[in-house]
Every structure is written in C-alpha cells, then in structure tokens.
Amino acid sequence: MGLLFEKLNQDIRFIEGISACINCGTCTAICPAAEVYDYQPRAIAEIVQSRDEDALRELLAGDTIWYCGECMSCKTRCPRQNAPGMIIQALRSLSIETGLFVESEKGRQQLALKRMVGESILETGYCVHFDHIDTGLFPEQGPVWDWEKANAAKILPKVGANYQGEGPGALRKVSQDDLDELKRIFEVTGGMEWFSKIEEHSARKAGEMGMESGTGKDSEYFKSVFTKNDNTRHSKK
C-alpha cells in the first residue's frame, strides 16, 4: 500500500465514504458541481479505488477536488451508499497536510479562505462580518458594505440587528468567552494546525513564484490567489 493511500485510508470520512464503487456514474449525474465544472465525482471514486499513487498525487495537486460544494447529493443517490463528497473532504485534508494544495489554482485559494473566513470566525465569531472584511476586495458587494457601515446606526435597527450589542440579535457582539471557546474547538479539532500548514506551504509557494505571502490581505501573493480564476480552464464549454 502506497503512502498517500495509507494516509487516506486512516481518515474516517474516506473509510465511510467508499465501499466498492461500481462506476455507474449516478453521482456525476446528480452532482451540481459537475454541471458547472469539468468535474466527475465518479472519476474521483475510481481513482481512489485504484490505489494508484501517481494518480492520487495528481488528484491532490490538481484543481478538481476543490470543485465539490459538499452538498452530499451524491450520498443520497449512490446505489452502493458511497459518499463521494466525503471522499473529497478526506482528499482535501490530505492535500493540505502534504502541501500539494499549492500546486493548483483552486488549491492555492485555501489561503484566501483561511485569512478571509477562518480568521474572521476567530476574531469576530462570524464567518463574514463587515467589520473584518477589506471591502475593496469585493468590487460588487464592497460598496454596499461600505454604505451599510456608514449608515449602520440608521438602517441596522430597522432590520432587527443588534450591531455590536449585548444579548441576542444579528451582528451582536460575540463575547470573549465564546471566542476563546471557539479557538479551543479549533485547537482540539486540528483547525489551528490546518491554518498553520496553509500559511507554511503558501509562504513556500509564494517564494517559488517570486512573491511575498505576507500575513494580511494586501500582499501580492494573497491578491493573486484571491483574484485569479481561470474560467477557460475550469468551466464547461
């Protein structure tokens, strides 16, 4: 058994996600991501079942494992009760663990997710919060957020928000105790280790590409991974 397959086979999501795929293609037929991208969960199930190390490495270093939306529609229709979406989750973890995620455009975008969403959760308690976002990075929604921030006192109470307030309500302030607990959850579940690996391998890749990865959202590498989206390669023709 090769090293990559051995590691994959230790992930409970992989163990529970596949059991004798018969290559029927039902998962691809139901998959919403396959409608948009050149992407087939059936093919991924076939590759992991083959245990071919070279093919596995190519998968971990490629774009396709990042196309899945984790909706789990495939799980509901597979005649063998497989769950390609869970296989993908295990593959994504392994891609980050091995650092191979930085070898693809979609994989490199994990840095943007970490700094935009992951850090926002730890700092504010929200996945997306306009106090945490650099609105200049969002050409369409950014100006709307700027306007909402400038007019927060006037408009937010009208929609029942409790902006930065104590007690219940949308946009309420999340207490420091709760933020500390969130951080502990990230620590014990491996989330913080994941963040470190994303930063470490992104810094390495940035160096290879002749850029600085920095620590915030204004470095050349961050802006490159955040904005680059090769639609001609990823979208179905």
Q: Which residues bind ligand SF4 (CB under 6 A)?
A: 21-27, 30-33, 41-42, 45, 68-74, 78-80, 82, 84-85, 88
Does residue 34 contact residue 41 with C-beta atoms inside 8 Å?
yes
Is 12 or 188 the residue whose CB approaches ligand SF4 more closely?
A: 12
Q: Which of 173, 178, 175, 223 is nearest to 202 (CA)?
A: 223
Least CB distance from residue 151 to ligand SF4, whole Å? 38
Does residue 45 contact residue 4 with C-beta atoms inside 8 Å?
no
Is 18 or 203 the residue whose CB approaches ligand SF4 more closely?
A: 18
Least CB distance from residue 64 to ligand SF4, whole Å? 10
For residue 235, give the 3-state DSSP assignment: strand
Least CB distance from residue 165 to ligand SF4, whole Å? 37
Least CB distance from residue 77 to ligand SF4, whole Å? 6
Alpha-carbon gap, residue 72 to 49, rounded angstroms:
19
For residue 193, give the 3-state DSSP assignment: helix
Other Cβ atoms within 10 Å of 62 Cβ, number:
17
Least CB distance from residue 173 to ligand SF4, whole Å? 35
Task: Give the CB-nearest residue to ligand SF4.
Answer: 85
Other Cβ atoms within 10 Å of 52 Cβ, number:
16
Is 62 or 125 the residue whose CB approaches ligand SF4 more closely?
A: 62
Does residue 30 contact residue 73 with C-beta atoms inside 8 Å?
yes
Least CB distance from residue 53 to ligand SF4, whole Å? 21
Least CB distance from residue 34 to ligand SF4, whole Å? 6
Distances from the Cα of 201 to the Cα of 16, 102, 197, angstroms: 29, 7, 6
Is 80 or 233 the residue whose CB approaches ligand SF4 more closely?
A: 80
Is 24 or 137 the residue whose CB approaches ligand SF4 more closely?
A: 24
Alpha-carbon gap, residue 196 to 98, rounded angstroms:
13
Is 48 or 133 the residue whose CB approaches ligand SF4 more closely?
A: 48
Alpha-carbon gap, residue 36 to 34, rounded angstroms:
5
Is 62 or 142 the residue whose CB approaches ligand SF4 more closely?
A: 62
Distances from the Cα of 69 to the Cα of 16, 32, 118, 133, angstroms: 19, 8, 18, 23
